[in-house]
Amino acid sequence: MRDVAVIGVGMMKWGELWEKSLRDIYVEAALNAIDDAGVDRVDSLYIGCMSGGLFNGQEHLGSLMADYLGLGPLPAVRVESACASGGLAFRQGWMEVASGISDVVLVGGVEKMTDVGGDEATYALSTAADQTYEGYHGITFPGLYAMIARAYMDQYGATSEQLAAVAVKNHLNGSNNPYAQYPHKVTVEQVVNSVMVADPLHILDCSPITDGAAAVVLCPMSMVSDLTKGKRPTVKITGSGHSTDTIALHARDDLTWFGATERAAAAAFKMAGRKPSDIQVTEVHDCFTIAEIGVTEALGYFERGKGAAAAADGLTAIGGPKPVNPSGGLKSKGHPVGATGVAQIVELVKQLRGECDDRQIAGARLALAQNMGGSGGSTVVHILEGE
């Protein structure tokens, strides 16, 4: 297998983009990534998208996007793993380059969620859960994560204020991200006094509904200097891990433990020859504040039950010992589900290149991205290393 580099990244301002279509936003991010890489060819495409069908009445996204990007004909693969679709598309693109099948691969993620009403968007998202045992009984994702949060608070004595600290940190980070949907700062008081969505989760514990896209360009390490002429520091993919858990929450031994994250991270760390303490900057899947807390434990950053206190104590802040979600995370940057996993890579590549201005983690050389589907039913973890 060949070593693989990320040589270009592209994003766009996320939000409620009513004046742009699904294909528009994908093409905008993809062209930004191609421009950043400076390549004049793409051999193959991967597209992460959770539900073009339910959100936009549009499947067959490989064919569509290759066509509208003006790059077709070429192999174009759409990959889906609910909210981990983007991370999984990145893994599949890495695999295609690593295998030697293609050299220059464009990986994009996209979701346009505001073309439907709120009820329809909630329904579309609920199809990431177990339809028979969860969805049909009326529970949606805020409810599922509320059960995780309630169990966590019960087992470990965590408080709503500790959960809120995750939102406060991520909005502070996002206030320095020009792409963020909600770049405003919030306080613990604002979070715990915001509308209750599913007890104990307030609306400011929840990530938003977002339109957005992100894209990256991959190539073999051996081709980097030819393709980029040394224009930017090189970022190498050194670890990739992917695992599943039971899709339904009730089937797990411990509601508070993200087992797929633990396993995907173990695989990525093993491939990279690294350990949790080596990682200097991390993007995780904070679809709800409790998710970031549980995930930082499953990644091995904090002991079981200590993630909430770690967030409240500032350990995951920029400037803290283990910065998490400098981009603002899903919470502030927004969460167009299929794009999220690719946007995490965009942020980490910029961090490793030192291009993040006021949210830069000084001297970051080792980075980790964790992207999660459903209530943890699937997870993809990648480790990136800068020069």
- What Rg value do the Cα atoms of the chain yield, rounded? 19
The residue assigned the tokens 């006021």 is 358
Options 126-134, 182-190, 195-203, 299-307: segment touching a second copy (CB under 8 A): 126-134
- The DSSP bridge pattern shows strands 235-244 and 281-283 to be unpaired
**Shortest Å distance, C-beta 48 to a second copy:** 11
Token duo for residue 383: 């480790």
101 makes contact with a second copy (CB under 8 A)? yes
The residue among 56 and 296 lying less far from a second copy, judged by its C-beta, is 56
64 makes contact with a second copy (CB under 8 A)? yes
Number of residues that bind a second copy (CB under 8 A): 63
- The DSSP bridge pattern shows strands 44-48 and 105-112 to be parallel
The residue among 88 and 113 lying less far from a second copy, judged by its C-beta, is 88
Options 92-100, 197-205, 274-282, 357-365: segment touching a second copy (CB under 8 A): 92-100
249, 375 in Cβ contact below 8 A?
yes
The residue among 120 and 154 lying less far from a second copy, judged by its C-beta, is 120
Task: Point out the residues that are catalytic.
Answer: 83, 335
Q: What are phi and psi of 217, to 5 degrees?
A: -115, 130
273 makes contact with a second copy (CB under 8 A)? no
209 makes contact with a second copy (CB under 8 A)? no
230 makes contact with a second copy (CB under 8 A)? no
Tell me the residue type at 365.
R
Site string for a second copy, 6-45 (x = CB under 8 A): ---------------x-x----------------------
The residue among 200 and 341 lying less far from a second copy, judged by its C-beta, is 341
**Shortest Å distance, C-beta 41 to a second copy:** 15
Taking CB under 8 A as the criterion, the residue among 171, 232, 242, 333 binding a second copy is 242
The residue among 56 and 210 lying less far from a second copy, judged by its C-beta, is 56
User: HSE of 133 in the Cβ direction (CA atoms, 13 Å)?
Assistant: 8
Token duo for residue 35: 């421009």
Taking CB under 8 A as the criterion, the residue among 87, 142, 373, 386 binding a second copy is 373
* CA–CA gap between residue 173 and residue 171 (Å, rounded): 5
Task: List, in order, residues 6 or more apart from 84 with CB less than 8 Å away.
Answer: 285, 341, 371, 372, 373, 378, 379, 380
194, 168 in Cβ contact below 8 A?
no
274, 275, 276, 281 alpha-carbon torsion, rounded to 10°: -20
Q: Mind giving me the DSSP string for 296-331?
A: HHHTTSS-TT-HHHHHHTTTTSTTSSS-B-TT-HHH
Is the omega angle on the peptide bond into residue 200 within 30 degrees of 0, that is, cis? yes
* CA–CA gap between residue 230 and residue 212 (Å, rounded): 30
354 makes contact with a second copy (CB under 8 A)? no
374 makes contact with a second copy (CB under 8 A)? yes
Q: Mind giving me the DSSP string for 336-359?
A: -HHHHHHHHHHHHHHHHHT--GGG
**Shortest Å distance, C-beta 7 to a second copy:** 20
The residue assigned the tokens 């991370």 is 87
Is the omega angle on the peptide bond into residue 208 within 30 degrees of 0, that is, cis? no
123 makes contact with a second copy (CB under 8 A)? yes
225 makes contact with a second copy (CB under 8 A)? no
116 makes contact with a second copy (CB under 8 A)? no
Taking CB under 8 A as the criterion, the residue among 29, 88, 172, 299 binding a second copy is 88
* Run of H or E including 289: helix 289-298
Taking CB under 8 A as the criterion, the residue among 11, 14, 51, 351 binding a second copy is 51
**Shortest Å distance, C-beta 270 to a second copy:** 13
The residue among 7 and 84 lying less far from a second copy, judged by its C-beta, is 84
* CA–CA gap between residue 325 and residue 12 (Å, rounded): 18
Footprint (CB under 8 A) of a second copy, residues 132-161? 132, 135
**Shortest Å distance, C-beta 50 to a second copy:** 6
The residue among 127 and 360 lying less far from a second copy, judged by its C-beta, is 127
Residues in contact with a second copy by CB under 8 A are 1, 21, 23, 50-54, 56-64, 66-67, 72-82, 88, 92, 95-96, 98-101, 123-124, 126-132, 135, 242-248, 251, 259-260, 263, 373-374, 377-378
